[in-house]
């Protein structure tokens, strides 16, 4: 388990998030925090510039090293996104394939 220190104010947490983004050279932009502040359980909204992806994460998870799901390769693509990926790869790599569809239901 990750320890992130003692309770601090909302403003100090925001400052700490911004410093972490800067010091770790993360491709993120801080968007905001929910209206209800509940310490480290509060969710913040970030934008990953590398993946053009908005995501929410609890402060404690962010400070313990969890990051953008797409950066960590743990993002679960939906069926439409996965098909788009396949079609882009076929076109971008000039592969001589035709995409006919998925064999089974996408899970």
Sheet containing strand 43-48, strands side by side: 28-33, 43-48, 53-58
Q: Please provide the DSSP assignment of 18-81 as one string.
A: HHHHHHTT-SEEEEEE-SS--GGG-EEEEEETTTTEEEEEEHHHHHTT---TTTTT-----HHH
50 Cβ neighbours under 8 A, 6+ residues apart: 27, 68, 70, 71
Q: What is the pTM of this model?
A: 0.71
Mean local confidence (pLDDT), 28-41? 92
pLDDT, residue 34, reads: 83
Confidence band, pLDDT 50/70/90 cuts, at residue 58: very high
36 Cβ neighbours under 8 A, 6+ residues apart: 42
Confidence band, pLDDT 50/70/90 cuts, at residue 77: confident
Say if residue 12's pLDDT is above 70: yes
Say if residue 46's pLDDT is above 90: yes
Say if residue 1's pLDDT is above 70: no
pLDDT, residue 32, reads: 96
């Amino acid at each position: 388990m990750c320890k992130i220190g003692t309770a601090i104010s909302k403003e100090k947490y925001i400052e700490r998030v911004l410093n972490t983004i800067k010091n770790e050279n993360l491709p993120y932009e801080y968007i905001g925090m929910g209206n209800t502040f509940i310490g480290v359980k509060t969710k913040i909204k970030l934008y990953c510039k590398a993946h053009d992806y908005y995501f929410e994460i609890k402060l404690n998870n962010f400070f313990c090293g969890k990051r953008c799901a797409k950066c960590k390769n743990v993002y679960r693509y939906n069926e439409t996104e996965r098909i788009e990926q396949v079609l882009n790869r076929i076109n971008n790599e000039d592969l001589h394939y035709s995409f006919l569809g998925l064999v089974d239901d996408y899970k």
